[in-house]
Amino acid sequence: MQVDLRSDTVTRPTPGMREAMMAAPLGDDVYADDPSVNALQDKIADLLGFEGALFMPTGTQSNLCAILAHCQRGDEYIVGQMAHCYRWEGGGAAVFGSVQPQPLNHQSDGTLLLEEIEAAIKPDDAHYARTRLLALENTIGGKLLPMSYVQQAAELARSKGLALHLDGARLFNAAVAQAALSGTVVFAEARRIAQCFDSVSVCFSKGLGAPAGSALCGSRELLARAHRIRKMAGGGMRQSGLLAAAASYALDHQVARLAQDHALARHLAAGLSGIAGLVVEPPQSNMVFVDLVGPAKARAAELLPFIASRGVVASGLYRLRFVTHLDVDAAGVAHALSVMREFFAT
Ligand SMILES: *Cc1c(COP(=O)(O)O)cnc(C)c1O
């Protein structure tokens, strides 16, 4: 049995998604006449409450277009040290846009302290870059940002004249986790989170299970700038309705099921926490982080090759990451647990 727990990006399109792709009416999106792209953009914009959306090849390009649409050369964005759009995107905003990041350390719940955000905002003085944007991520490292925190951060940013961008690569995981806490509807929660921001980037290629694609949502004015940047970055695609149809299908059929990924992550975490030498963070969404301590840590280098030899792949070394998704079921999690137990029993 093969169980790939490295990332929720490894999902394959489901039969229903492939059918939707086959049936998609297509045009040329650079001429803005691909009906499937236009339909997806309208759908995600309506769902999240924005004037419009732009379909993007990747989440990285979506964040880049957002940051460069909000900021000019010599401007600055405040962002978390572990945020994808600071740490994991090759420094694109600085490289392509001459936009300086101002990274801040995260608290253990993934938030950035409001006082530290405020203190990082530069005065209007020729010595400093112009602080223009606050970029948050939700979920971040699998953690749901508390709604009250998101609202306070948004209020702070507005009061200081900063724009707000959300890297919502896993916005729907956040919405599912939040809906479970508050007993409300997933799409309503997604919209409630998104509405705190001026722009939101959503990935369809993570837990939603599409083969590729993200959407950047925002005002018409912001998207007009982002559209030009997307073109410069080489992201003007043609019959991209094939991919947009997969994303639309995911929004229609594969959002509610994220709750199963979260349940399986909790199940996996509970099982792993019974193994001596593993310290397991209780998961809030579809990611389980596990620290190896004591004698277990000394064997870290052997662990991943061992479990891989039994069909289970994960990532990390002293801190392991297991991600549940569309292509992992209860039997897969049970197999992963038995292989992990086998390793530590030997
Ligand atoms: C994956 C991811 C991205 C980027 O997506 P790509 O499509 O891989 O470029 C951005 N932000 C977060 C939080 C992500 O997890």
Is there a single domain that holds both residue 143 and residue 86?
Answer: yes
Question: Which pTM was predicted?
Answer: 0.97
Q: What number does the ligand 1 atom closest to the CA of 205 have? A: 7
**3-state secondary structure (DSSP) of residue 280:** strand
> How remote is the CA of residue 266 from the centroid of ligand 1, in Å?
23
CATH of the domain at 141: 3.40.640.10
Q: Is the CB of 203 under 6 A from ligand 1?
A: yes
Residues whose CB falls within 8 Å of the CB of residue 98, separated by 6 or more in sequence, listed in order: 73, 74
pLDDT (0 to 100) of residue 230: 98
Q: Is the CB of 261 under 6 A from ligand 1?
A: no
Question: Torsion angle, CA of 9/10/15/18, rounded to 10 degrees?
Answer: 60
Mapped to the 3 state alphabet, what secondary structure does 111-134 carry?
Answer: CCCHHHHHHHCCCCCCCCCEEEEE
> How remote is the CA of residue 126 from the centroid of ligand 1, in Å?
34
Query: Which residue, by CA, sits nearest to atom 6 of ligand 1?
Result: 59
Please count the structural domains in the chain.
2
d(CA 92, CA 218) in angstroms, rounded, equals: 20
For residue 122, give its domain range: 15-253
Is there a single domain that holds both residue 43 and residue 139?
Answer: yes
b/e 166-190 (16+ beta carbons within 10 angstroms → b): bbbbbbbbbbbbbbbeeeeebbebb
Query: Which residue, by CA, sits nearest to atom 5 of ligand 1?
Result: 59
> Of 219, 253, 287, which closes a domain?
253
Is there a single domain that holds both residue 263 and residue 235?
Answer: no
Question: Nearest 5 degrees, angle CA 245-CA 246-CA 249?
Answer: 85
Is there a single domain that holds both residue 157 and residue 89?
Answer: yes
d(CA 56, CA 130) in angstroms, rounded, equals: 28
Give the tens place of pLDDT for each residue, 184-231. Answer: 999 999 999 999 999 999 999 999 999 999 999 999 999 999 999 999
Does a structural domain hold residue 133?
yes
Is there a single domain that holds both residue 226 and residue 309?
Answer: no
Give the tens place of pLDDT for each residue, 261-287. Answer: 999 999 999 999 999 999 999 999 999
Q: What number does the ligand 1 atom closest to the CA of 61 have? A: 9
pLDDT at 72 over 90: yes
